[in-house]
């Protein structure tokens, strides 16, 4: 039953259940609230002052009440959304900005005076009491996952307010009682007076005693952050919607779900529809043969008849254009266009050319003259908006349209021409994207008079183009719809017949006269019928919203053309008017009547103005589109008994494209009104919106298509798109077309109802298809606005669009926030919008963003420019002040979590490989035994002996040169100097330190010569040295405890250092961090004894300990490994052979000398091989980034070693200086090897950009390579001098997550480049083993890298004696195959691949590719992710992200990004980061943390310390700019 009566009945039934009846049950109340003019409902309309161009069509009381009811239902299952934390500066800037109300064009002046539904709200204190109750339930009760969740919640009402949804119940308390304005306003003030400060997360009360949680290393953490995360985890544990039955498409390794249709979804059941014919277009004898002929007729026979009256901003008539003036002036314009532009021989404009019409909205007369001038001159007018600035939203696309139409001339008015932006020379600049235009002013005084004998050529309407109307598409592109002269005339005739226009009628037009309904009725059809148009400019409507009603009364107008917005504004302002009389109106055309949300404005307007003479049958909604012109219009009738058609449709049904009159219990309905009948002379049908144009069934929603003369004919210049839109042949189910004539797609979604009435439910442009269901943007806007409509956001300033992420559309809502609403309020509003949309549309919102008032891009008439907003959102320049992302609830098409298959036994793997002809993955460097070299140092087992031998044989040979930051030599050591210095240190250790042989000594030195001397001093004294990085003087509090920890864990009996560091250790700052008395004996080597030791210690056994190597791994573990004398010598020999090092060589080293290969190169290799090492401390590069490269060039070095941090410093710091460095003579052409010393996967992007950058300075790209080492073996690979260049392969990232290697082509999707980590060192053997079964793996299979070599470390050095845990790191055996060899496990995943290249010894070359550390990898959804891959994606997501680190916490992925930009950009990153991780890694980000540059801790090797970062985040020490918790 879709009559008005049925609608009323339905409404009371719908709402009845949700109206808690007050104790005295008053039966009259429900009727009273609906009665037409009872004070309560009438006054409700005064209060509803609202704004915006999109606004009031969205206001439906029923809908608001339904939304409130839905939210009430939600009260039981509350969403405990953790509120984001925001840095104070950010909050203050957004919410306490100097308050500028949004541009008045949205008409939002006093809309805030009395807000909302004007039902009383309970006081906030009462609200927060029951709040606390549910918060404690939400945090603790909802899941009994952890035992700790029984801790009490003692946050007080402060905590209550921090959480999202604070007062969902307020709005529904006393719905049925009449509004009591007094209590409402006082309550309102109570709520507002919460101090502004509480919005910042700093001053917020801490969550009670938030659960005690433990970090990965078992450190208990009690902090606000973890409580929020726990809350997020609890929220996410709540069951999602029942999952749809899965069906998978095999996307190589990973299966993305394709959502199957729900078996219970409604399906259309009706018969196939029939095409509807409009009535015959009657031919009236005196209809003119063309529109110009009509103008000529009226201009000559009744020149005094008024054609157009324009208004000034006070509502006074400004100017009356008569038909006579219109005729003569248009002739003048036509003559001047054709004859006065260009030269006589070469006119600029010829008949058929396009010209632009640029006229402001308050000057319809000038526009009309110019438009008819063009028609008379037979040129094609293209009316467009006035470009106000050079970068108006969308103005660039308009420029493209002009360019593609070949426009060279723009007609404009004098005033408009003066107002255009000018360059200093007075020229009008070329707007962005526009062609070069000649601006031509059409005012009569600027034109020359046509000669007496000149007369425009007036012929009958034909198929030439009459004008082009522009249309903005969903994606922001602008198309031009061409309308022929015959279509123009037929359209005017059809409108005249449908609207019953007669000569000399008066019509009031509020619409834009340049396009659409305003142009068709107010400029074209009016002239055909000699009507008088009263044009009301937008600027007058803003000042006086009642102006159009006053003009209707004043001129006794018969017809008015308005939008629902204008009706709403009139409602708001009408009570100042006494003598309104609308009885003269026979037709009130509602131009946006096709928008279903216009119905409430129509009803409300009728309600109020019925008493002022307005008849119900006068309101005539119409549907139109740029392509099909007027699609349908309700005819004005004299019969007031026939009520207009109404439909109450189930929104759930609509999402499946099915019409269902709504069943009783549903909250979600869409009420639609008919837009009348099909146009005279037209045929209409509806076809399925996608795929082949098949006719719909009678109960199915489709795209309306029309077949008529009076439509557009093409998109100018775009034949392909024209074919799809203007040449559609609808098919019957049999496959036959229904007509031989083409139909035109109108872009409107709807159906033809009973009696041939046309109903429209939405636009194709606003359609969002989310997992197979169709949602209309307008419906979602309406629901969002029905949630406490105007407290937090501006009504007309809300944008809804969809973005495609991971193969589905995701809904994004962007609204402008009021400056006076607090952080909590907005957040609360956002979480309630999510619930409302979830309840009513059953669809999740992916992202909800609030931006500061007045910042969304506008269309010329003040609406929101949707495509521009979407563009800003996607490129991260929207700058929201609040963001709530809900990927966990929306994204349901992730691949299934991987179920680990039971491991295949190692034997079967080996047999399988043999059967398939794959070799087992193993490789080795050159065999040390077979290499013949005249290595003198081999005679000696111990490095201390090698040094003594060199001091005797080549005493003055320089081994070490240390450079300072200016590049000059700070210090150098010859063999004999080093020997003598070491002797003195040995004496000092024995005499002052009273140390025994085998005692441990910590060497705390800056990078330099002292460190080397102290190391050999220890060897001479028989002590075991441990090199330790000295504390940083500017950062003692954090660096000194690390020093202390290493000294303690290594059981050092003594600490040697310089005088400067001695003082530092005893300073007051140091004492605050570490008690001075807890240090072991401290020796200062700046003051050495003068004597030599009695004898130099010689170890009894080469397997005794030579030194300890301590390093903090990226996972935050401190691990020391034992290096024996034999391993140390073997190590040096291996490097000597690989790099061909001899005493005549020079090597530049820019590394930290504290652990790993860096230490070996800095301290040991020169003594063993005799080459000269040029030492460059990396810290010096901070003051002089070019130091390292200048030294390499100056000393003509062939081999150099650096770290990633050094390479990054050079790439970033010298990027722009290559020219000046070239001028200074920097030459890198002699460099043969430049090795990055690393313990990670090669950073291919960095090495490549370094190579490219310095190629101009002679650096050979093949020279740059990386090494690979780890704790069990400090160097496994090193490029060296001979052997093939490092190779790069591309692997599929998705396969890698499943521990598989799949090689792909470069540039294929999901490909990841991996570079070989140098060549395997001599004497090193490598095998790839399965980390779980310890079985050998085949070539190109991913597994753990195991290594066997003479320079393996001999074990971990630990205090706690938990060697059993780590013992298999150093002596593992394969479970199958060669079970005898003892291997060390590196803890890194990688694979070996046999290449086509040959090695130095003629064998095929085996390349080792390192993928990442096992203990860094994250297990998520059963798959293995390496943090670096996710970080690389995130860094690419936005230009302002300089660095990124990820870690997991309680199975949530946390992404920390460093922002290089203003804090206003922080929130732009949240959606972009979430999108890119979803798209590329199929993972949902749980928390996004935006921090300042330099917050992510990085160690000396340039590796990120992700675990330190995690602990800092959980302990709330990062001072983040913004923390977003994704729902």
Q: What is the pLDDT of residues 68-105, one digit of tens each?
A: 777 777 665 555 567 888 876 665 444 333 333 444 33
| Confidence check: pLDDT of 914 > 80 | no
3-state secondary structure of 85: strand
CA distance 784 to 775: 14
- The pLDDT value recorded for residue 168 is 35
The pTM of the full predicted model, rounded to 2 decimals, is 0.80
| Dist CA 1235 CA 1204 (whole Å) | 10
Distance of alpha carbon 513 from alpha carbon 347, whole angstroms:
30
CB 41 within 8 A of CB 33: yes
Kindly tell me if the per-residue pLDDT of 429 is higher than 90: no
Q: Note the pLDDT of residue 189.
A: 31
3-class state of residue 490 by DSSP = helix
Q: What is the pLDDT of residue 195?
A: 37
**Which token pair is 1234?**
């430049």
Residue recorded with tokens 């003068």:
1090
Q: Where are the alpha helices (DSSP H) in 718-758?
A: 719-726
- 316 exposure class (CB count in 10 Å sphere: 0-12, 13-18, 19+): exposed
Is residue 680 within 8 Å of 278, Cβ to Cβ? yes
Q: Are 814 and 799 in contact (CB under 8 A)?
A: yes
SS3 448: coil
* Residue 888 phi, psi dihedral angles, 5° rounding: -60, -35
Out of 148-162, 525-539, 558-572, least confident range: 148-162
List of residues 6+ apart from 1384 with CB closer than 8 A: 1272, 1273, 1346, 1347, 1348, 1352, 1353, 1369, 1370, 1371, 1372
CB proximity list for 1403: less than 8 A, separation 6 or greater: none
**Which whole number is the average pLDDT over 1195-1206?**
92
Q: What is the mean pLDDT of residues 1378-1407?
A: 85
> What pLDDT, on the 0 to 100 scale, is given for residue 165?
38
Name 857's Cβ contacts closer than 8 Å, sequence gap at least 6: 393, 394, 864, 865, 868, 869, 872
Residue 1092 is predicted with a pLDDT of: 83
Q: Which residue has the tokens 């074919």?
A: 723
**pLDDT-wise least confident of 31-35, 542-546, 624-628:** 31-35
Distance in angstroms (rounded) separating the CA atoms of residues 989 and 998: 12
Number of H helices, E strands in the chain: 47, 61
- Answer whether residue 219 shows pLDDT above 60: no
Positive or negative, the Cα torsion across 448, 452, 454, 460? positive
pLDDT band at 663 (very low <50, low <70, confident <90, very high): low
For the chain, report the end-to-end CA distance as a whole number of angstroms.
Answer: 41
| Inter-CA distances, 248 with 260, 887, 1478, Å | 9, 21, 18
Q: Quick one: average pLDDT of 965-992?
A: 91
Q: Look at 91-100, 545-554, 587-596, 644-653 and tell me which has the smallest mean pLDDT.
A: 91-100
Q: Are 1016 and 982 a contacting pair, CB within 8 Å? A: yes
Is the pLDDT at 874 greater than 70? The verdict is yes
How far apart are the C-alpha atoms of 519 and 591, rounded to whole Å?
12
Distance from C-alpha of 1408 to C-alpha of 1398, rounded to nearest angstrom: 14
How high is the mean pLDDT of the chain?
81
Confidence at residue 393, expressed as pLDDT on a 0 to 100 scale: 64
Please give the distance of CA 953 from its chain centroid, rounded to a whole number: 67
- 610-624, 1076-1090, 1469-1483: least confidently modelled range: 1076-1090
* Residue 307, H or E segment: strand 306-311
Asked whether 1312 and 1428 are in contact (CB, 8 A), the reply is no
Buried b (16+ CB within 10 A) or exposed e, 693-725: bebbbbbbbbbbbbbbebbbbbbbeeeeebeeb
Which residues, 6 or more positions from 909, have their beta carbon under 8 angstroms from its beta carbon? 1330, 1333, 1335, 1336, 1337, 1338
Q: Is residue 9 pLDDT above 80, yes or no?
A: no
CA distance to 98, 357, 439, 700, 1105, per residue, from 429 (Å): 33, 17, 11, 52, 79
Residue 67: its H or E element: helix 61-74
Distance CA 1512, CA 1507 (A): 8
Q: Which of 899-903, 1250-1254, 1345-1349 has the lowest mean pLDDT?
A: 899-903
pLDDT at 729: 94
791 confidence band (pLDDT: 50, 70, 90): confident
Contact (CB, 8 A) for 1474 and 1488? yes
CA distances from 780 to 52, 78, 568, 767, 795 (A): 17, 21, 20, 11, 13
Question: Is pLDDT above 50 for 38?
Answer: no
Cross-strand bridge partners of residue 848: 813, 884
Residues 145, 237 contacting (CB under 8 angstroms): yes
* Torsional sign, CA 247, 251, 252, 254: negative
Q: What is the pLDDT of residues 970-981, one digit of tens each?
A: 999 999 999 999
In contact, 583 and 44? CB cutoff 8 Å: no
The pairing of strands 1404-1413 and 1384-1398 is antiparallel
From CA 42, how far away is CA 818, in angstroms rounded?
27
**Region label for 432, one of left (φ > 0), alpha (ψ between -120 and 50) or beta (otherwise):** beta
Most confident of 181-185, 916-920, 1370-1374: 1370-1374
């Amino acid at each position: 039953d879709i009559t008005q009566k049925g609608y009323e009945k339905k409404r009371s039934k719908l709402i009845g259940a949700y109206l808690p009846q007050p104790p005295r049950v008053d039966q009259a109340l429900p009727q009273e609230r609906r009665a037409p003019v009872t004070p309560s409902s009438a006054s409700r309309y005064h209060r509803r002052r609202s704004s915006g161009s999109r606004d009031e069509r969205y206001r439906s009381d029923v809908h608001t009440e339904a939304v409130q009811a839905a939210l009430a239902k939600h009260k039981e299952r509350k969403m405990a959304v953790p509120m984001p934390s925001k840095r104070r500066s950010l909050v203050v800037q957004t919410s306490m900005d100097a308050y500028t109300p949004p541009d008045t064009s949205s008409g939002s002046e006093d809309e805030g005076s009395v807000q909302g539904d004007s039902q009383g709200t309970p006081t906030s204190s009462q609200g927060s009491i029951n709040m606390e109750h549910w918060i404690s339930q939400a945090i603790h009760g909802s899941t009994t996952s952890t035992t700790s969740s029984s801790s009490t919640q003692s946050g007080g009402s402060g905590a209550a307010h921090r959480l999202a949804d604070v007062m969902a119940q307020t709005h529904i308390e006393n719905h049925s009682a009449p509004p009591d304005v007094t209590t409402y306003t006082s309550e309102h003030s109570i709520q507002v007076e919460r101090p502004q400060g509480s919005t910042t997360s700093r001053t917020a009360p801490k969550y009670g005693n938030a659960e005690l949680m433990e970090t990965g290393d078992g450190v208990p953490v009690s902090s606000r952050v973890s409580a929020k995360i726990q809350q997020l985890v609890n929220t996410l544990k709540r069951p999602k919607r029942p999952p749809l039955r899965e069906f998978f498409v095999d996307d190589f390794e990973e299966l993305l779900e394709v959502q199957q249709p729900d078996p219970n979804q409604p399906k259309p059941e009706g018969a196939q529809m029939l095409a509807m014919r409009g009535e015959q277009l009657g031919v009236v004898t005196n209809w003119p043969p063309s529109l110009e002929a009509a103008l000529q007729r009226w201009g000559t026979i009744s020149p005094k008849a008024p054609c157009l009256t324009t208004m000034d901003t006070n509502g006074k008539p400004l100017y009356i254009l008569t038909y006579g003036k219109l005729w003569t002036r248009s002739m003048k314009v036509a003559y001047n266009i054709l004859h006065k532009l260009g030269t006589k021989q070469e006119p600029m404009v010829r008949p058929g050319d396009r010209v632009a019409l640029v006229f402001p909205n308050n000057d319809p007369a000038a526009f009309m003259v110019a438009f008819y001038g063009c028609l008379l001159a037979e040129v094609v007018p293209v009316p467009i908006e006035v470009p106000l600035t050079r970068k108006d939203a969308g103005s660039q696309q308009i420029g493209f349209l002009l360019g593609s139409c070949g426009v060279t001339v723009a007609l404009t008015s004098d005033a408009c021409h003066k107002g255009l932006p000018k360059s200093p020379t007075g020229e009008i600049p070329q707007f962005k994207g526009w062609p070069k235009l000649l601006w031509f002013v059409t005012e009569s005084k600027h034109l020359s008079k046509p000669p007496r004998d000149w007369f425009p050529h007036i012929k009958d309407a034909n198929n030439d183009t009459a004008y082009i109307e522009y249309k903005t598409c969903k994606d922001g592109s602008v198309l031009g719809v061409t309308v022929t002269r015959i279509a123009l005339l037929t359209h005017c005739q059809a409108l005249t017949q449908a609207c019953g226009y007669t000569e000399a009628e008066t019509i009031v037009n509020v619409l834009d006269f340049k396009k659409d309904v305003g142009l068709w009725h107010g400029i074209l059809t009016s002239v055909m019928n000699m009507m008088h148009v009263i044009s009301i400019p937008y600027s007058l409507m803003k000042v006086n919203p009642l102006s159009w009603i006053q003009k209707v009364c004043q001129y006794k107008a018969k017809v008015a053309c308005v939008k629902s917005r204008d009706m709403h504004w009139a409602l708001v302002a009408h009570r100042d008017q006494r003598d309104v009389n609308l009885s003269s109106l026979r037709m009130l055309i509602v131009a946006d009547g096709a928008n279903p949300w216009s119905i409430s404005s129509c009803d409300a307007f009728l309600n109020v103005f019925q008493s002022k003479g307005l008849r119900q049958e006068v309101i005539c909604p119409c549907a139109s589109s740029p392509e099909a012109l007027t699609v349908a219009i309700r005819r004005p009738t004299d019969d007031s008994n026939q009520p207009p058609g109404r439909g109450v449709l189930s929104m759930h049904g609509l999402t499946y494209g099915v019409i269902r009159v709504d069943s009783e219990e549903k909250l979600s309905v869409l009420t639609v009104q008919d837009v009348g009948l099909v146009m005279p002379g037209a045929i209409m049908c509806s076809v399925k919106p996608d795929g082949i144009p098949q006719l719909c069934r009678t109960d199915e929603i489709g795209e309306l298509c029309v077949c008529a003369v009076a439509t557009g004919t093409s998109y100018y210049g775009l034949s392909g798109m024209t074919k799809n839109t203007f040449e559609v042949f609808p098919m019957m189910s049999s496959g036959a077309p229904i007509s031989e004539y083409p139909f035109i797609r109108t872009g409107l979604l709807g159906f033809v109802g009973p009696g041939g009435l046309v109903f429209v439910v939405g636009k194709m442009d606003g359609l969002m298809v989310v997992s197979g269901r169709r949602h209309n943007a307008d419906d979602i806007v309406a629901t969002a606005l029905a949630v406490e409509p105007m407290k937090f956001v501006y009504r007309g300033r809300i944008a809804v669009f969809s973005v495609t992420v991971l193969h589905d559309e995701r809904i994004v809502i962007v609204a402008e926030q009021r400056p006076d609403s607090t952080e909590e309020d907005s957040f609360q509003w956002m979480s309630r919008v999510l619930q409302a949309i979830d309840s009513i549309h059953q669809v999740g919102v992916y992202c909800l963003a609030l931006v500061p008032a007045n910042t969304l891009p506008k269309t010329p008439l003040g609406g929101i420019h949707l495509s521009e907003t979407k563009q800003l959102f996607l490129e991260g320049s929207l700058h929201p002040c609040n963001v709530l992302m809900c990927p966990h609830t929306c994204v349901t098409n992730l691949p299934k979590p991987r179920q680990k298959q039971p491991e295949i036994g190692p034997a079967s793997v080996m047999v399988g490989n043999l059967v398939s002809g794959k070799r087992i993955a193993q490789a080795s460097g050159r065999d040390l035994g077979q290499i013949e070299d005249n290595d003198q140092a081999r005679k000696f087992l111990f490095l201390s002996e090698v040094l003594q031998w060199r001091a005797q044989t080549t005493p003055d040979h320089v081994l070490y040169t240390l450079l300072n930051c200016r590049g000059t030599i700070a210090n150098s050591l010859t063999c004999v100097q080093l020997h003598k210095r070491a002797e003195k240190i040995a004496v000092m250790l024995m005499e002052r330190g009273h140390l025994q042989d085998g005692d441990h000594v910590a060497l705390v030195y800056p990078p330099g010569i002292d460190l080397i001397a102290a190391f050999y001093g220890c060897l001479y004294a028989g002590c075991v040295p441990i090199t330790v990085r000295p504390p940083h003087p500017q950062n003692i509090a954090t660096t000194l405890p690390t020093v202390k920890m290493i000294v303690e864990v290594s059981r050092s009996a003594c600490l040697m250092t310089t005088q400067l560091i001695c003082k530092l250790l005893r300073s007051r700052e140091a004492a605050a961090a570490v008690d001075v008395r807890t240090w072991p004996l401290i020796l200062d080597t700046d003051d050495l004894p003068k004597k030599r030791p009695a004898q130099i210690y010689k170890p009894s056994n080469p397997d005794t300990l030579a030194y300890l190597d301590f390093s903090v791994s990226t996972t935050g573990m401190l691990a020391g490994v034992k290096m024996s004398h034999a391993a140390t010598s073997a190590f040096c020999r291996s490097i000597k052979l690989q790099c061909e090092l001899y005493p005549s060589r020079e090597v530049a080293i820019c590394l930290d000398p504290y652990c790993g290969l860096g230490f070996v190169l800095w301290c040991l290799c020169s003594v063993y091989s005799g080459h000269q090492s040029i030492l460059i401390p990396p810290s010096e590069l901070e003051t002089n980034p070019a130091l390292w490269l200048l030294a390499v060039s100056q000393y003509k070095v062939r081999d150099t070693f650096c770290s990633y941090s050094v390479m990054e410093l050079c790439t970033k710091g010298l990027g722009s200086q290559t020219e000046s460095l070239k001028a200074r003579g920097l030459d890198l052409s002699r460099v043969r090897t430049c090795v990055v010393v690393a313990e990670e996967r090669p950073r291919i992007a960095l090495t490549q950009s370094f190579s490219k950058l310095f190629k101009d300075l002679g650096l050979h790209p093949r020279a740059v390579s990386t090494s690979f080492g780890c704790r069990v073996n400090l160097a496994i690979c090193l490029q060296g001098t001979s052997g093939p260049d490092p190779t790069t392969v591309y692997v599929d990232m998705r396969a890698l997550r499943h521990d598989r290697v799949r090689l792909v082509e470069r540039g294929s999707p999901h490909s990841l480049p991996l570079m070989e980590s140098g060549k395997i060192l001599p004497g090193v053997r490598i095998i790839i083993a399965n980390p779980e079964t310890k079985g050998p793996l085949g070539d190109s299979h991913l597994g753990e890298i195991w290594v066997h070599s003479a320079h393996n470390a001999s074990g971990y050095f630990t205090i706690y004696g938990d060697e059993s845990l780590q013992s298999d790191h150093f002596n593992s055996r394969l479970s199958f195959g060669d079970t005898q060899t003892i291997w060390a496990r590196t803890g890194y995943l990688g694979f070996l691949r046999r290449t086509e290249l040959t090695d130095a010894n003629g064998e095929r070359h085996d390349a080792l590719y390192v993928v990442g550390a096992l203990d860094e990898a994250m297990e998520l959804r059963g798959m293995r992710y390496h943090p670096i891959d996710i970080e690389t994606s995130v860094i690419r997501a936005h230009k302002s992200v300089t660095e990124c680190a990820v870690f997991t916490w309680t199975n949530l992925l946390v992404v920390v990004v460093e922002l290089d930009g203003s804090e206003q950009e922080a929130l732009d990153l949240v959606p972009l980061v979430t999108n890119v991780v979803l798209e590329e890694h199929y993972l949902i980000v749980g928390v996004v943390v935006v921090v300042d540059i330099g917050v992510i801790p990085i160690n000396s090797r340039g590796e990120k310390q992700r675990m330190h970062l995690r602990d800092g985040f959980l302990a709330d020490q990062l001072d983040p700019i913004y923390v977003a918790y994704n729902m």
